[in-house]
Amino acid sequence: MTHSLNLKRHLKALAALAVLAALPAFGAAPGDAPSASSDGAALREPPPAFDDIDDVPLPDPDLWQRIRVGFALEPLDSPLVAEQEEWYASRPDYIKRFVDRGSLYLHYIVEQVEKRHMPTEIALLPVVESAFTPRAESRARASGLWQFIPSTGKTYGLKQNWWVDNRNDVVAATQAALDYLQRLHDEFGSWELALAAYNCGEGCVGRAVAWNQKRGLPTDYLSLKLPPETKSYVPKLIAVKNIVLSPATYGIELDSVPDQPYFTTVKAPAKIDVKLAAKLAGMTEEEFVALNPAHRKPVVAASATLVLPIDKVETFQENLENYDKPLVSWTTYNARRGEYVDSIARRYGLTRHELLAVNDTLRLDRRLRLRYAQQVLVPIRRSAAHHGGTSLRTASAGGAAVRAGNGGGNTQWYTVRAGDTLYAIARRFSTGVEALRSLNHLRSHTVLHIGARLRVPDPR
Report CA-CA distances (Å) from 390 to 275, 324, 405, 407, 441: 18, 7, 6, 8, 21
Q: State the CB neighbour count (10 A cutoff) for residue 392.
A: 17
Residues written for the chain = 460
Nearest CA to 125 out of 239, 219, 206 is that of: 239
Task: Provide the annotated active-site residues.
Answer: 129
Q: How far apart are CA 36 and CA 273, in angstroms?
A: 67
The answer to whether the CB of 379 falls within 8 A of the CB of 433 is yes
Residue type for position 84? Q
The answer to whether the CB of 404 falls within 8 A of the CB of 459 is yes
The answer to whether the CB of 162 falls within 8 A of the CB of 97 is no
Q: How far apart are CA 316 and CA 21, in angstroms?
A: 44
HEC states along the chain?
Answer: CCCCCCHHHHHHHHHHHHHHHHCHHHHCCHHHCCCCCCCCCCCCCCCCCCCCHHHCCCCCCCHHHHHHHCCCCCCCCCHHHHHHHHHHHCCHHHHHHHHHHHCCCHHHHHHHHHHCCCCHHHHHHHHHHHCCCCCCECCCCCECCCCECHHHHHHCCCCECCCEEHHHCHHHHHHHHHHHHHHHHHHHCCHHHHHHHHHHCHHHHHHHHHHHHHCCCCCCHHHCCCCHHHHHHHHHHHHHHHHHHCHHHHCCCCCCCCCCCCEEEEECCCEEEHHHHHHHCCCCHHHHHHHCCCECCCEEECCCEEEEEHHHHHHHHHHHHHCCCCCCCEEEEEECCCCEHHHHHHHCCCCHHHHHHCCCCCCECCCCEECCCEEEEEECCCCHHHHCCCEEEEECCCCCEEEEECHHHCEEEEECCCCCCHHHHHHHCCCCHHHHHHHHCCCCCCCCCCCCEEEEECCC
